[in-house]
Amino acid sequence: MTRIDTKFAQLAEQGKKAFVAYIMAGDPDEARSLELMRGMPQAGVDVIELGLPFTDPMADGETIQLAGQRALDVGMTLDKTLNMVREFRKDDDTTPIVLMGYYNPIYSRGVDTFLVQAKEAGIDGLIIVDLPPEEDDELCIPAQNAGLNFIRLATPTTDDKRLPKVLTNTSGFVYYVSITGITGAAAAQAVDVAPEVARIKAKTDLPVIVGFGIRTPETSRDIASVADGCVVGSAIVSEMASGKPISEVLAFIKSLADGAHSA
């Protein structure tokens, strides 16, 4: 059982939906992103997705691209990202942390070295956007063997024929991408998402969490109500980018979490 598995078991017991929030490590700098991260559990975040900055985030919209660029500009690295997790873990040993990003920084470090470091730092799962099931040998299988969850994205283009392939070797939860598109783009509609979640849940016992296109407490509630929970990323990153004090960003996160938890 990883912290992710434990958390979802608890939520299921309480009959609660999960609220997952994404932030970019090192945006706008190391200290402030750590401060934000530390406030997230108190704001109602059940699972933290920590973005690993990358120069070429091909699946991300402008908001997250720019956040990654800001982080890189202040010298954020893989080591510093892992350090953030270590610092966070000093006060919190239960909130699950999923590292989300692209493969090259991990491949560059070396998969085996990375997995040892990630596990030791206190990371529980990985979402690596550019590793589809066809490339499972690269990182997915070694990560599972190292005791980390490998969380896969399912999308509107993942048809019934392909779905079993996507679900095999997935653990922790399934991340359903609500739209065809990049992060921060079109608004997700619960009416479109509901049948898709049902289609996935028919094929797996894992929780199905929906992300992309959720920006308000209302959408957070609507989407969470037709799934096991929801993810918000770009909307939170935008708040940080606007230079608001961290207390205000956390208040916004809390409103989103309350939305999801009221579903």
Active site residues: 49, 60
Contacts of 223 (CB under 8 A, 6+ apart): 178, 188, 190, 193, 210, 214, 230, 260
Nearer CB in complex with another protein: 122/184? 184
- The Cα 72–Cα 53 span in angstroms is 7
Work out how close the CB of 39 gets to another protein at its nearest, in angstroms, rounded to a whole number.
Answer: 27
Nearer CB in complex with another protein: 79/248? 79
Work out how close the CB of 61 gets to another protein at its nearest, in angstroms, rounded to a whole number.
Answer: 7
Nearer CB in complex with another protein: 59/146? 59
- Per DSSP, helices labelled H in 26-128 are 30-39, 62-73, 78-89, 103-109, 111-121
87, 34 Cβ separation under 8 angstroms: yes
Q: Which residues bind another protein (CB under 8 A)?
A: 53-59, 61-62, 65, 72, 77-79, 102-109, 129-135, 152-159, 162, 166, 177, 180-182, 185
Work out how close the CB of 224 gets to another protein at its nearest, in angstroms, rounded to a whole number.
Answer: 22
Work out how close the CB of 127 gets to another protein at its nearest, in angstroms, rounded to a whole number.
Answer: 11
Nearer CB in complex with another protein: 28/156? 156
> What are the strands, taking DSSP E only, across the chain?
18-24, 47-51, 97-101, 125-128, 149-150, 153-154, 174-177, 208-211, 229-232
